[in-house]
């Protein structure tokens, strides 16, 4: 998470799509998501409004 919002590497639940995903990119507030497993088509969501973080990406040690 970054500033309390989903970020790249976080596992999220997309309430609009009704499925879990991994955040792979964030550009201008649009989130690019990929399925948790099995490959498949990536999708975008226009904001984090319908996303909830299931498992945050571990912080990297400094």
In whole angstroms, how far apart are CA 57 and each of 26, 33, 38?
15, 14, 20
Query: Mean pLDDT in the chain?
Result: 92
Residue matched to tokens 């912080």: 59
Instruction: Collapse the DSSP code of 33 into the 3-class scheme (helix H, G, I; strand E, B; otherwise coil) and give the result.
Output: strand
* All structural domains of the chain with their residue ranges: 11-49
Q: 43-54, pLDDT tens digit by residue? A: 999 999 999 999
pLDDT of residue 58: 81
pTM over 0.75: yes
Q: Please tell me the distance from the alpha carbon of residue 46 to that of residue 62, in angstroms, as a whole number.
A: 32
């Amino acid at each position: 998470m970054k500033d309390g919002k989903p970020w790249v590497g976080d596992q999220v639940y997309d309430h609009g799509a009704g499925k879990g995903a991994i955040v792979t990119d964030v550009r201008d507030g649009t989130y690019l998501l990929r399925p948790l497993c099995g490959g498949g088509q990536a999708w975008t969501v226009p904001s984090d409004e319908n996303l909830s973080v299931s498992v945050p990406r571990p912080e990297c040690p400094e």
